[in-house]
Amino acid sequence: MSKVKDAHLFYIFIFGDLLMIASIILWLTNAFQGSIIYTLFLVGLFISFVCMILLSIRGKKYNN
């Protein structure tokens, strides 16, 4: 894989983190229902975990 694709994965990882941060801010302001905030947080968490796993696998491929 190219380093450009790794950069795209990193940007998606940051997007997942931003979703989690936004859900926490919305939770603190009570702007939406709890189920919407909970779903946003879980989606952000899932995106971040998948990107972390893919980036670590690709990092191991580069180091070998």
Residue 34 lies in a domain: yes
Question: How many structural domains compose the chain?
Answer: 1
Q: What is the pLDDT along the chain (64 residues), one digit of tens a residue?
A: 566 677 788 888 898 898 899 888 888 888 777 788 888 889 999 999 998 888 888 776 666 5
Residue 64 lies in a domain: no
What pLDDT, on a 0 to 100 scale, did the predictor assign at position 51? 87
pLDDT value at residue 27: 86
Range of the domain at 31: 3-59
pLDDT for position 46: 92
pLDDT at res. 63: 61
* Inter-residue contact 26 to 37 (CB < 8 Å): yes
- C-alpha pair distances (Å), 50 with each of 27, 34, 42, 47: 24, 24, 12, 5
Residue 11 phi, psi (nearest 5): -65, -40
- Residue 43's pLDDT is 92
